[in-house]
């Protein structure tokens, strides 16, 4: 029992509970004290809220639930409003998580027991936009099924790759199988329901095959879908467009995306990347036309798409700008291919050179007119610091020239096993991107021209005095340089 002296009029003014108890016909209205059966911690928090100066009292995840419980029991309307306002603003306060996952889980369990709806409105979206951090928490496996399901279904679900999402679900499923909280039948149904939300055609082939050890049906289905896409991805996508069922083929891009990992996924062609940037409200006929045009190298509907949907295409590397415009928070891009898992009878899919010239001409014209191409000062193109293109044997010197638009921020590049690149192309990239300090150039044609560029004076170096006489050359600032297996002339 805790006795607290409080101002009677303040209690009546702020709380419907005390207003009825002290200002009505109850016997307590004439008494010098009243007893309440509210939780002690909750009652203390409410009294602090009512009587402490506003500047010295703040709502946080430490006192939110006791405050909310006390506000509900004692009917303190102003506190209920403040609690809801605080909880809703947590989501928009910062792109990264600002409250512990344990707190979110506890709030989720609390809400239905006390009829609080705003908690259920906020939690899934909050976890979805911070999902990469959520899955690294030890408490991830303790997320209740309905909350995890709602989180995955949220349009704000942000992951680095579909593999990352699948690994998280499999981890949760494994922990769920060891738990005795659910019946066996319900647990199995929940597991299948969660796994059905994975877009299996976006998984790396090797990873998909590995899932068969613990989830044979799921893994086998994923492998079959990926192999079918490797055989004829265009027809599969066209049939999907006709059925208006593109969601399972979309790479997950949100306003919170900072990194996209597509390595190990040779089935992800230009059409996949294009589809991921298309608005969801385009009609099926228009989508089908666009996908066909991308495959044929024809951009007759390109300007129409820009005008109607204000969404640009993503055609391998010459349209990297389009992805950056859609997701300006991205600072690292990994488009590498794990060649170790590609079967010998399949080749890495690349754009046809005979149609690329026409495509480049049309796109370059668009970018020049719009003022986007080559504008390194544009903040959209000033965030990318790391670019990984390992294993992409469809990259040409022209692509490297276009990548030079990232010259104001690009510090790291990996073009290992990019066999179509020439020494001249690599040299031009180095000449343009003077901030580069880490490069993986193994098994390329790196040679004399590139070496001369690395050893030449940097015209952008504004410092007239250096203690070291070689400080003005680009090679002086290198932190990492890999040249294994280079075939250039030295």
Task: Dump pLDDT digits (tens) for 407-446.
Answer: 888 999 999 988 889 999 999 999 888 889 999 999 899 9
Looking at the predicted structure, is the pLDDT value of residue 346 above 50?
Answer: no
* pLDDT-derived band at 241, boundaries 50, 70, 90: low
Least confident of 128-137, 177-186, 219-228, 467-476: 177-186
Residue 90 has pLDDT above 50, yes or no: yes
**Domains (range + CATH), the chain:** 1-88 (3.30.710.10), 91-158 (no CATH), 386-459+468-482 (no CATH)
Q: How many CA atoms lie within 13 A of 273 on its CB side?
A: 26
User: Nearest CA to 285 among 243, 231, 345?
Assistant: 243
- Which tens digit of pLDDT belongs to each residue from 158-168? 999 999 999 99
Write out the E strands in 159-307: 259-261
Q: State residue 413 phi and psi, 5-degree precision.
A: -140, 140
What does the pLDDT read at residue 315? 40
Share of the chain above pLDDT 90, in %: 33
From 446, 386, 387, select the one nearest 419 (Cα to Cα). Answer: 446
More confident residue, 246 or 194: 194
pLDDT value, residue 475:
83
pLDDT at 220 over 90: yes
Q: What is the pLDDT of residue 469?
A: 61
Task: Give the Cβ contact number of residue 373 at 10 Å.
Answer: 18
For residue 270, pLDDT beyond 90:
no
- Please determine, for residue 309, whether its predicted confidence score (pLDDT) is greater than 70: no
- Of 12-16, 66-70, 231-235, 392-396, the range with the highest mean pLDDT is 66-70
pLDDT of residue 392: 83
Contact of 131 with 104, CB cutoff 8 Å:
no
Mean pLDDT, rounded, for 368-383: 49
Give the residue-averaged pLDDT of 313-342: 62
pLDDT of residue 7: 79
364 or 278, greater pLDDT: 278
Ramachandran sector of residue 411 (left: φ over 0; alpha: ψ -120 to 50; beta: rest)? alpha
Q: Quick check: 67 pLDDT over 80?
A: yes
pLDDT band for position 367 (50/70/90)? Answer: very low
In terms of pLDDT, which residue wins out, 346 or 397?
Answer: 397
- pLDDT level of residue 357 (50, 70, 90 thresholds): very low
pTM: 0.59
Query: What's the pLDDT at 391?
Result: 86
- pLDDT, the chain, mean: 77
Q: What is the reported pLDDT for 353?
A: 34
Mean predicted confidence (pLDDT) in 277-294: 64
Tens of pLDDT along 7-65?
788 888 888 888 888 877 676 666 777 777 788 888 888 988 988 888 888 899 999 99
Contacts 24+ apart (CB under 8 A), 322-325: 322/277, 323/253, 323/260, 323/273, 323/277, 324/380, 324/381, 324/383, 324/384, 325/372, 325/380
């Amino acid at each position: 029992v805790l006795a607290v002296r409080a101002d009677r009029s303040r209690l009546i003014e702020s709380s419907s509970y005390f207003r009825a108890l002290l200002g009505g016909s109850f016997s307590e209205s004439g008494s010098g004290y009243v007893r309440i059966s509210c939780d002690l911690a909750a009652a203390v928090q409410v009294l602090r809220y009512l009587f402490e100066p506003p500047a010295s009292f703040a709502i946080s995840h430490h006192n939110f639930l006791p405050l909310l419980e006390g506000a509900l029991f004692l009917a303190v309307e102003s506190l209920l409003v403040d609690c809801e306002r605080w909880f809703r603003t947590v989501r928009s306060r910062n792109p990264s998580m600002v409250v512990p996952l344990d707190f979110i889980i506890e709030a989720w369990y609390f809400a239905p027991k006390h009829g609080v709806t705003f908690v259920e409105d906020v939690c899934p979206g909050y976890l979805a936009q911070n999902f990469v951090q959520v899955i690294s928490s030890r408490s991830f496996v303790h997320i209740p099924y309905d909350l995890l399901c709602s989180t995955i279904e949220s349009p704000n679900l942000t992951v680095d790759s579909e593999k990352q999402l699948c690994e998280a679900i499999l981890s949760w499923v494994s922990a769920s199988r060891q738990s005795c909280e659910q019946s066996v039948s319900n647990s199995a149904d929940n597991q299948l329901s969660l796994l059905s939300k994975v877009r299996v055609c976006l998984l790396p082939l090797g990873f998909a095959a590995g899932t068969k050890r613990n989830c044979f049906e799921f893994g086998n289905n994923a492998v079959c879908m990926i192999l079918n896409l490797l055989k004829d991805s265009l027809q599969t996508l066209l049939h999907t467009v006709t059925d208006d069922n593109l969601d399972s083929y979309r790479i997950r891009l949100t306003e919170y995306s900072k990194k996209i990992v597509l390595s190990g996924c040779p089935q992800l062609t230009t059409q996949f990347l294009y589809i991921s940037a298309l608005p969801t409200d385009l009609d099926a006929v228009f989508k089908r036309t666009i996908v066909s045009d991308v495959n044929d190298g024809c951009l007759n509907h390109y300007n129409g798409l820009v005008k109607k949907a204000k969404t640009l295409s993503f055609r391998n590397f010459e349209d990297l700008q389009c992805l950056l415009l859609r997701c300006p928070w991205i600072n690292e891009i990994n488009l590498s291919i794990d060649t170790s898992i590609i079967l010998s009878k399949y080749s890495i899919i690349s754009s046809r050179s005979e149609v690329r010239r026409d495509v480049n001409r049309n796109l370059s014209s668009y970018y020049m007119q719009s003022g986007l191409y080559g504008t390194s000062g544009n903040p959209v193109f000033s965030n990318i610091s790391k670019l990984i293109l390992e294993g992409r044997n469809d990259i040409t010197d022209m692509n490297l020239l276009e990548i030079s638009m990232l010259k104001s921020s690009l510090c790291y590049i990996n073009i290992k096993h990019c066999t179509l690149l020439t020494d001249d192309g690599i040299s031009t990239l180095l000449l343009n991107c003077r901030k580069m300090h880490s490069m993986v150039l193994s098994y390329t044609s790196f040679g004399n021209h590139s070496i001369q560029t690395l050893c030449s004076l940097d015209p952008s170096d504004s410092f007239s005095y250096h203690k070291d006489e070689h400080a003005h050359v680009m090679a002086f600032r290198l932190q990492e340089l890999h040249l294994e297996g280079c075939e250039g002339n030295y």
